[in-house]
Chains A and B, each alone.
Chain A
Amino acid sequence: MFCKNCGQELSSDIKFCPNCGAPAGTNALPDGVLPADVANKKMTAGILGILLGGWGIHKFYLGMTSTGLIMLALTLCSCGVLGILGFIEGIIYLTKTDEAFYREYIVGRRQWF
């Protein structure tokens, strides 16, 4: 199972997350259980990244507003060349398994790549 607070993988017998200290019992999702919309979210974010990644749209979609604005500024500053970073991030999202995507981007709120 994984800590709901930070996404750290937890062994089933501990009470607190060793990474962030959040109580593990009620706070963690049981093994193998993911929220129902994770597969959809991954697909949407990945495609948004590939098509509109330079404008930071995939980051806005995942709730990383501030990081999305930085992505937008990067693209403006480079005549669009660094927009390719958004494209790459979209591909990375799609290569993840649903479980890894949920752990790293939704729970862990990973900001870059």
Chain B
Amino acid sequence: MIPIGIAAGVVLLLLAAVTAIYYAEPGKSRFLPPCLFLEATHLYCPGCGNTRALHALLHGELLASLRCNILLLPGVLTAIVLLWKPKLSMRKGVGLGILAIVLGFAILRNLPMEPFCKLAPHSSPQTTDAPAPRQN
């Protein structure tokens, strides 16, 4: 069994991260750091847009979440399945397949051509949390 202290710590950390991402606005809040890989190379990593995607997902905007990072939702579902049935991750094809999808996605989303540039993280047009236009 997992030591109870470690388990409690991990759950608390997760809750704190999810709460922060729920309330903070990615890209505007200084508590959520920008991607270091993007800053250094100006290339998108496979995780770019994940904070925005999770923010959108937590607010129930499924489409906006997929536009920011199409892998977040399938990734969360895969993680749940793998934790539920751990023996699945022993199969050779599963590990190789997941790694191939992630690396392929990383390459494709950096291509500047039309069908692929949709995979780049889109700043979703502010819908729900946009402040109303200021009236003077």
* A residues in contact (CB < 8 Å) with B: 64-70, 72-73, 76-79, 88, 91-92, 95, 109-113
Contacts and interface: CB of A to CB of B under 8 A. Distances in A.
Interface stretch (B96-104, B108-116, B126-134): B96-104
B10 to A, nearest CB: 6
Chain B interface helix/strand/loop/mixed: helix
Contacts of A64: 89-90
Contacts, number: 72
A76 B10 contact: no
Nearest to A69: B95
B2 interface: yes
Interface of B: 2-3, 6, 10, 35-37, 45-48, 50, 71, 75, 82-83, 86-87, 89-96, 98-99, 101-103, 106
A92 B6 contact: yes
Contacts of B6: 88, 91-92, 95
A67 B96 CA distance: 9
7 contacts: A65-B95, A66-B94, A76-B45, A77-B46, A79-B35, A95-B6, A112-B89
A112 B95 contact: no
Contact of A68 (B71, B87, B95): B95
Contacts of A88: 6, 10
B99 A79 contact: no
A88 B101 CA distance: 26
